[in-house]
Structure 1
């Protein structure tokens, strides 16, 4: 992520542009220089900071969501203690110009997943060996981005934005307009972009002392003897998400003989030697000829350079006007979908679908070399199709067409051979649909009932919606997700019971107790099932936001009903040791009562609780 080799150059060879700072000291200086600013703003690259924020929590077993919530709360409170306003930005849909890079990263992470699952399945397994061997590997627990976004907004009251275009550019633009104190991120693109006064490192942040590393854009330019206005060209010719580093190998070899230190220095020297005339319209042709020996590459160089330059994003009305909405009613729906997306009120996928962009599903801990269980993208395809039907029911058909089609970039076996996205069609609801604007904004009981019916209809035609509705709110999505997996014969009855018991135990378990859980042996099948479950839970959360919250989003967050390590322990108890339900429920009657209520929905058996444990 960011500019290839720049972080290494900064940290190893450029001390004037990369040094440790105390954030409190910087704030004092900033307040003295800006006397009218009482609440300095730090813009956080929410997506880019997830890895550092998640830290050392277990990520193999499916995610430690309640522990993550505590970590995130401590993070927010640490900045509140310094009287700082945090504003989070999260990625929206992938910008299509960066699709090749997105695909490349997914292919690499598929290889990582293969290696991780091999280690888990090779006896004798030791969890500490996995951590040691995979210090540099990390697969985000499915849905963590959505969890973090809703967490910061609904639980901690932070300002949250979701990007429409490139996230880095929107962060930099916001930081400039709002005269922000700092950007907190881990992406060297921010060294190049003009944004806040300071760019602070998330990876090096220590909350105990509130110290981190500062990367100084101006000092970098001085160290390279380069005018700051040419930093975007430097980033382009070092390699970034637009111009790949491997495409520059011959150029780098020619000027620096593959020495990382010399690469930065020599690229800067190369730029200075060009003696660029800013009025010369052929300058990119000349650079392309020098770098690639091919003037046709001038357009991608220009695109990369201009992506770093300060620009104003188009107004939302302009974004809506770009679409051929055909009707005013659909245009109003698109406008409202954009507003909700910007403000983090829905999953980012909702805007993508309404706007006509592809649906994305990234890599997770699935065995892409085996077909012994379905893959998440395939398993939940019917659910997505029914959700598409809800979102696109009012959209006019394209000219000359009688059907909508949705493009999907989803990671499945053979993904590395895909040259284009998969295309699927929506399945329209068979129950009354009051219209998206009503679903999103009408609080009447009539619309609330229609929301619920649409939700149940999208999940399953066989699930008992009345019994599902009677469950405590935090158990509705777990019951629906487990029912879906059971209905499609993905899990056995014992495995379903393990998921149910996990859901009812987590809600009454403090994070500290979950943190102390030790899982000496990890079951590979349980890891993969946890992936399928959390993917399904994420799809249901997406459905909930698409319909306008048939159940309050705050009451169905995954930290209320899932914990990866706990699931591993209960899975072993349920499937290998065949423990009684009371034991699975942590020997608590209140948990057992909730277990039977959920089980009656999952197994579609109102008398399930009367069966033998």
Structure 2
């Protein structure tokens, strides 16, 4: 993530940029300088998942109690020294970064393939050096932090921008993460999560001022440097020839630096000694070989400007804008400058499927969207919505969905309703195993019914509502374009309720209607009576397992037993005991009878201890939003 080669350059060639600091001391200094204020650290949560997830047995995931304990200790340690934490999670993939997102997903596929090859060839789990974050960990982490009373936010645009912006606008103590973009933003101090010692609260602060001294640059030059080197917006190859020319004319090549390090020094020297000579006199495109990439380059530089900030590399005029993919991007993040994003859409508001096409999965039908672009946003959802194609036209409902999204209380809902586009990253799936379908396909019917609920249902077996663009990672998907997935009508007694009913109504009986809708999403309306006979904490589990075993015919009874055993037998165990729990070697179990015997033995022993007492009410995705 971040700027190409910058992390390695700082570590090897500019070690003085990194300074060991202590959070307790920094907090005390902050309180003395800002009486009455609370030292606050903005946490880029996605950068911290690897730090928080410590179990050695990571391939299968599932060590929830251990993980929750790790998060609790993390929060408790900072709270004890009077530091407030604000956690940010990625909530959107910006269109300008879609290519980079795809590139990383395909790279992850190759890493996952190596993991499964290792397991098959050595019949053991690989070490931490091959660690890959367990599926769904980011989503579960949001709810875990909320349960711990922490403020947890989900971004409406690139998360690092919102993190940097929050730190800048709220005079925060600093940013905790692992992304060199935080060295580029002119914001509060940046601290490394990978170098954090929780016992002492020591970590490393990466100082952008010292980086500028090493490179002979000003703080305002860093966004320009980042884009010339390549980042998540600017492909690395765009300025490869330019960087080579800088390197060949660079007179002070350091033997202590590798080639990438010398490239960074050479580009920095070009900025300070060549470009700055004409700064303010010539336009940047007259001094750089931007060619047809001018608009993208300007967007990349402008993406680092936080609210109220301007770049000296732009000739500042309020009307200075560049056009990019039929969108208008302001050259400054000054809040007084207006950003407008006109969108050219298909004139057809509803597209009917051609005869003979699969209504559930049509790759040809164009995206159905609202064709009118209004000058003002009736939902008042902020500047990020002005470049989105609003699919749901009810302002109040869209506002509720946005609030739930920002507060990290829902997942994918706002993306579907605001832009009709969603994505799902890599799962630990064996691409060579043809017996088990990808989770992208297993849960697609559920998503299709949810889409119907969010975007409006129709008659017949499918909805006439808009298709949703799905960027889901699965074996064989090159991710060159999204799958266009049609909503699927739900079978609900009395008809499909509106979102206003489900989210906003306080009428008697609405809870029963929410339950009916939840069951309909899994196509389990006929099992309502049987599911209600189960204790409520286990209703969601049974709902999921019934659906899963209907969808995947290669799952067997032993798999079902394993799922149930985890739910019933482990909840009474203390965290430390679970951490020391011995793994069951499936190779030593010769038959299903062995597994059944083991399951019966474990359940019998644990029943007396725990009594299957449940202490946490499960989350219902159809519950009304929190106040």
The answer to whether the superposition gives a TM-score over 0.5 is yes
Partners of 2:386 and 2:301 in 1: CA distance: 27
Instruction: Provide the residue aligned with 2:582 in structure 1.
Output: 518
Instruction: Provide the residue aligned with 1:286 in structure 2.
Output: 287
Partners of 2:132 and 2:233 in 1: CA distance: 23
1:425 aligns with 2:486: yes
Instruction: Provide the residue aligned with 1:405 in structure 2.
Output: 467
Partners of 2:510 and 2:62 in 1: CA distance: 35
Q: Secondary structure at the match of 1:471?
A: coil
Instruction: Provide the residue aligned with 2:368 in structure 1.
Output: none
8 A contact 2:571–2:612 mirrored in 1: no
8 A contact 2:392–2:417 mirrored in 1: no
Q: Secondary structure at the match of 2:42?
A: strand
Partners of 2:598 and 2:100 in 1: CA distance: 49
Q: Secondary structure at the match of 1:175?
A: helix
357-366 vs 185-194, greater mean Cα deviation:
357-366
Question: How much does 1:145 deviate?
Answer: 1.0
1:435 maps to which of 498, 516, 520: 498
8 A contact 1:494–1:574 mirrored in 2: yes
Instruction: Provide the residue aligned with 2:547 in structure 1.
Output: 484
TM-score by length of 2: 0.78
Instruction: Provide the residue aligned with 1:303 in structure 2.
Output: 299
Partners of 1:23 and 1:521 in 2: CA distance: 43
Alignment CA distance shift 1:44-1:387 (3 Å):
same
Instruction: Provide the residue aligned with 1:474 in structure 2.
Output: 537
Question: How much does 1:327 deviate?
Answer: 8.4
8 A contact 1:40–1:180 mirrored in 2: yes
1:316 aligns with 2:377: no
1:494 maps to which of 520, 545, 558: 558
Alignment CA distance shift 1:343-1:592 (3 Å):
closer
Question: How much does 1:282 deviate?
Answer: 3.3
Question: How much does 1:264 deviate?
Answer: 2.2
1:414 maps to which of 476, 479, 486: 476
Q: Secondary structure at the match of 2:395?
A: helix
Question: How much does 1:500 deviate?
Answer: 1.1
8 A contact 2:88–2:153 mirrored in 1: yes
8 A contact 1:190–1:199 mirrored in 2: yes
Alignment CA distance shift 1:501-1:266 (3 Å):
same
Partners of 2:59 and 2:392 in 1: CA distance: 47
423-432 vs 512-521, greater mean Cα deviation:
512-521
Partners of 2:465 and 2:570 in 1: CA distance: 44
Question: How much does 1:169 deviate?
Answer: 0.9
Partners of 1:306 and 1:576 in 2: CA distance: 63
- Structure with larger RCO (C-alpha < 8 A, sep 6+): 1
Q: Please, which runs of 5 or more residues in structure 1 have no aligned partner?
A: 396-400, 524-568, 596-613
1:8 aligns with 2:8: yes
Alignment CA distance shift 1:263-1:218 (3 Å):
same
Alignment CA distance shift 1:394-1:186 (3 Å):
same
576-585 vs 448-457, greater mean Cα deviation:
576-585
8 A contact 1:185–1:200 mirrored in 2: yes
Alignment CA distance shift 1:80-1:342 (3 Å):
same
Alignment CA distance shift 1:187-1:463 (3 Å):
farther
Instruction: Provide the residue aligned with 1:100 in structure 2.
Output: 99
The CA deviation string for residues 100-159 of structure 1, in whole angstroms up to 9 with x for no partner, is 111111111111111101111124x243xx10xx51x33221111111111112x11111
Instruction: Provide the residue aligned with 1:190 in structure 2.
Output: 182
Alignment CA distance shift 1:100-1:93 (3 Å):
same
8 A contact 1:160–1:343 mirrored in 2: yes
8 A contact 1:374–1:490 mirrored in 2: no
Partners of 1:35 and 1:439 in 2: CA distance: 46
Instruction: Provide the residue aligned with 1:271 in structure 2.
Output: 271
Question: How much does 1:323 deviate?
Answer: 6.1
8 A contact 1:582–1:592 mirrored in 2: no
Q: Secondary structure at the match of 1:585?
A: helix
Partners of 1:426 and 1:306 in 2: CA distance: 37
1:386 maps to which of 427, 444, 449: 449
8 A contact 1:573–1:584 mirrored in 2: no
582-591 vs 476-485, greater mean Cα deviation:
582-591
Instruction: Provide the residue aligned with 1:600 in structure 2.
Output: none
Partners of 1:167 and 1:505 in 2: CA distance: 38
Q: Secondary structure at the match of 2:157?
A: coil
144-153 vs 312-321, greater mean Cα deviation:
312-321
8 A contact 1:90–1:167 mirrored in 2: yes
1:151 maps to which of 139, 144, 148: 144
Instruction: Provide the residue aligned with 1:375 in structure 2.
Output: 438
Question: How much does 1:517 deviate?
Answer: 2.0
8 A contact 1:2–1:188 mirrored in 2: yes
Alignment CA distance shift 1:576-1:388 (3 Å):
farther
Instruction: Provide the residue aligned with 1:222 in structure 2.
Output: 213
Q: Secondary structure at the match of 2:152?
A: strand
Q: Please, which runs of 5 or more residues in structure 2 have no aligned partner?
A: 249-257, 308-332, 340-379, 614-627
Instruction: Provide the residue aligned with 2:135 in structure 1.
Output: 142
Question: How much does 1:346 deviate?
Answer: 1.3
1:362 maps to which of 398, 421, 425: 425
Taking only aligned residues, the RMSD between alpha carbons, in angstroms, comes to 2.8
The CA deviation string for residues 172-198 of structure 1, in whole angstroms up to 9 with x for no partner, is 1111221111111111101111222x2
8 A contact 2:392–2:398 mirrored in 1: no
8 A contact 1:41–1:180 mirrored in 2: yes
